[in-house]
Structure 1
Amino acid sequence: MSAVINAIEYMLPERTESIDEIAARFPNWPLEKIAEKTGIRARHVANDDECASDFGVIAAQRLFERTGIDPAEIDYLIFCTQSPDYLAPTTACLIQERLGLPTHIGALDINLGCSGYIYALGVAKALIETGQSKRLLLITADTYSKFVNPGDKSVRALFGDAAAATLMSAAEGESTIGPFIYGTDGSGAQDLIVPNSGMRNRGHATPSEEYTDRHGNTRSDHNIYMNGRAVIEFTLREVPQAVTQLCEKAGVSLDDIDAVIPHQASATVLEGIRKKLALPAERFVVCMEDIGNTVSCSVPIAMKRALTNGQIKPGGLLLLVGFGVGLSWGATLVRLPDDFSR
């Protein structure tokens, strides 16, 4: 048996924030120039009382409704997030109860950000193809906006909140997911980090005072920090190389790929990757102008949107690549079945 992706659904919070709203706070900031570099003009952001799990539950419910799948058929749940409800218990356990999934299923969280969907697909494929699961629900959800200090211009216009639900199952025939390329470079961990988000600094950094850096960005150690230049350099160094390695491993060329679907980081980063790969724009999926960088959700949302607008079609060979916080990256090939539920 091989693992297949049967359907994808996603949801975005109702609340939005446009660059015009940010301009009201930073009147001297060249937001039009920033929007051109990021490719983002608006994002969806969670309210104070909304969590990633809330969005994940809604995305899954939409998927069940559209596909007609009975939640009782799910035998494994993977929840990929870096903004869990609690450090304990595991958020996947809470989602199992809220969705009314069977109590005999496996359920776990994966703590990965921008590369998370690729890694989670690898875990899901292994679970299905080793007979541990027949019908698996993979949910990605993040609320990075909760990590962003409103006074931090470096990330304020970048991260959006979202959730995506992917239905996977076992099917006869050749594998439609894989092979995989993974990469990890923990020496760059400090380049994209929420310093006081776990146990390491808990004792001596709470409460944490705000400070303003030399660029005029205000944040505290409870907020996300990104060394933009270092992250861009890492991305342009590793991602094209990972794509090349994946093609070599799979025995295909980029000409055989119908579309590349990258993590939706920013327009500058994606254009740099596309040019290094010498890919035409029509075979390189970019769709973040109205939702921003949605972290672990960006790849499945981009895939779903590209299917909806006809840029990609079931049966085509897709190359998915995620990269970012960790530093971490991953890439895989996916061929959606002809009966993929759109």
Structure 2
Amino acid sequence: MIAYIKAISYYLPPNKLTNAELSVLFPEWGIEKIANKIGVDTRHIAADNEFASDMAIAAAQKLFAEHNISPADINFILYCTQSPDYFLPTTACIIQDKLGIPVKAGALDFNLGCSGYVYGLALAKGLIAAGIATNILLLTSETYSKFIHPKDKGNRTIFGDAAAATLISTNGFAAIGHFELGTDGKGAENLIVKQGAIRHPEKSADTIHDGYGNEQSPGNLHMDGPEIFAFTSTEVPVLITEILKKNGVSKADIGQFILHQANRYMLEHLRKKMDIAPENFYIYMADVGNTVSSSVPIALYEAMKEKQTGPQAKWLLAGFGVGYSWAGTVIAFI
């Protein structure tokens, strides 16, 4: 059975962090420098008492309202986050109750970052193909801002908080194609929050200077930018080639390439390396930042407002990052 994307909505927390505010905190980083290098002008930041599940619920409620969807029609919840409410219970179970989704619905969390949305599409497609579910609510929600050291200018300029909600069903506006997935856990240390979970439960107050003017501690988000860039530069072009091959299409057949919105510099590097025309390579991060697992659905939502999506148009979706983990597919509009 074919699985389709039927509807998408997303939620941004009201609080904003602008380049002007960051340039006051970090005078060596001017407003234009941040905008030109990172490609972000504004990021939305979750309030102290606002958590990833709250944002996921808000995104789902927007989806229901904007697309006239009833919670009663949902029979599975897939919730992607790396900032769950608790170690247990499963946050998807809490979300089911708060959204009024039937108790006969399945629900599970999965922990992935920048590849999470595409992995979620793969899981949803498998549930539909197996006859397990017919209307799957895929939620991605992340509050990386709560992991970032206040003096870590690099990560504070990049990341924003957001949530997205997607309905995957047996009918919809775009058929989900074949997937290419990959994992390389050797890169785990290069993008990590080392303390606070079971292996290292106690958070240290020790401050680490990373050599690039950023302060971090082992309980905060650590990202080795050069290593992440090297991984991305090597693996993503191979990923794109394999996605095209698995779906039996060429680069010329793809109307829009929508990749994880890491930062503008990295995206432009990838675009040029893969020889993709700017008009076929969609970037949407200036007003939201890098929203981790929500970056692909947010960009997809905005691209559909701007670009042609006639019958048989094909777009490529790809996510990559923390893990290391990567994933991609092609969607075909009907």
TM-score bracket for the superposition, by shorter chain length: over 0.9
Q: Shift of residue 34 of structure 1?
A: 3.1
State how far apart, in whole Å, the 2-side matches of 1:23 and 1:314 are. Answer: 46
> In 1, are the aligned partners of 2:38 and 2:158 still within 8 Å (CA)?
yes
State how far apart, in whole Å, the 1-side matches of 2:32 and 2:156 are. Answer: 14
Counting only pairs closer than 5 Å after superposition, residues 68-79 of structure 1 correspond to structure 2 as 68-79=68-79
State how far apart, in whole Å, the 2-side matches of 1:34 and 1:319 are. Answer: 28
Change (3 A) 1:22 1:186: same
Change (3 A) 1:303 1:317: same
1:276 counterpart = 2:273 = yes
Change (3 A) 1:140 1:313: farther
Q: Shift of residue 32 of structure 1?
A: 2.5
Q: Shift of residue 30 of structure 1?
A: 4.2
State how far apart, in whole Å, the 2-side matches of 1:162 and 1:98 are. Answer: 19
Q: Shift of residue 294 of structure 1?
A: 0.2
> In 1, are the aligned partners of 2:80 and 2:140 still within 8 Å (CA)?
yes
Aligned partner letter, 2:211? R
Match of 1:168 in 2: 168
Counting only pairs closer than 5 Å after superposition, residues 3-22 of structure 1 correspond to structure 2 as 3-22=3-22
Counting only pairs closer than 5 Å after superposition, residues 37-56 of structure 1 correspond to structure 2 as 37-56=37-56
Match of 1:145 in 2: 145
> In 1, are the aligned partners of 2:204 and 2:218 still within 8 Å (CA)?
no
Taking only the aligned residue pairs, the percentage that are identical comes to 48
* Aligned CA-pair RMSD: 1.5
Aligned partner letter, 2:175? T
Deviating more after overlay: 35-44 vs 113-122: 35-44
1:195 counterpart = 2:194 = yes
State how far apart, in whole Å, the 2-side matches of 1:44 and 1:152 are. Answer: 17
Q: Shift of residue 311 of structure 1?
A: 5.4
> In 1, are the aligned partners of 2:5 and 2:171 still within 8 Å (CA)?
no
Deviations 1:155-207 (A, max 9, x none): 110000000000111149xx9212111111111111111111321111xx434
Match of 2:179 in 1: 180
Deviations 1:60-95 (A, max 9, x none): 111111221111111000001111111111110010
> In 2, are the aligned partners of 1:306 and 1:312 still within 8 Å (CA)?
no
1:111 counterpart = 2:120 = no
Q: Shift of residue 101 of structure 1?
A: 0.3
> In 2, are the aligned partners of 1:317 and 1:335 still within 8 Å (CA)?
yes
State how far apart, in whole Å, the 2-side matches of 1:286 and 1:24 are. Answer: 27
Change (3 A) 1:336 1:85: farther
Change (3 A) 1:276 1:213: closer
Q: Shift of residue 209 of structure 1?
A: 2.5
Counting only pairs closer than 5 Å after superposition, residues 1-342 of structure 1 correspond to structure 2 as 1-171=1-171, 176-202=175-201, 205-310=202-307, 312=309, 315-337=312-334
> In 2, are the aligned partners of 1:6 and 1:336 still within 8 Å (CA)?
no
State how far apart, in whole Å, the 1-side matches of 2:308 and 2:48 are. Answer: 36
Report the secondary structure of 1:177's partner residue: strand
Q: Shift of residue 211 of structure 1?
A: 3.2
Deviating more after overlay: 124-133 vs 243-252: 243-252
Match of 1:340 in 2: none
> In 1, are the aligned partners of 2:239 and 2:328 still within 8 Å (CA)?
yes
Deviations 1:190-230 (A, max 9, x none): 1111111321111xx43433333333311111110111011
Q: Shift of residue 27 of structure 1?
A: 1.6
> In 1, are the aligned partners of 2:253 and 2:314 still within 8 Å (CA)?
yes
> In 2, are the aligned partners of 1:178 and 1:332 still within 8 Å (CA)?
yes
> In 2, are the aligned partners of 1:239 and 1:323 still within 8 Å (CA)?
yes
Report the secondary structure of 2:315's partner residue: strand
TM-score by length of 1: 0.94
Change (3 A) 1:228 1:12: same
Aligned partner letter, 1:316? A
Deviations 1:214-265 (A, max 9, x none): 3331111111011101101110100011100111122210001111100000
Q: Shift of residue 313 of structure 1?
A: 5.2
State how far apart, in whole Å, the 2-side matches of 1:178 and 1:208 are. Answer: 47
**Aligned residues, how many?**
333
> In 2, are the aligned partners of 1:5 and 1:336 still within 8 Å (CA)?
no
Deviating more after overlay: 56-65 vs 293-302: 56-65
TM-score by length of 2: 0.96
Gaps of 5+ in 2: none
Q: Shift of residue 47 of structure 1?
A: 0.6
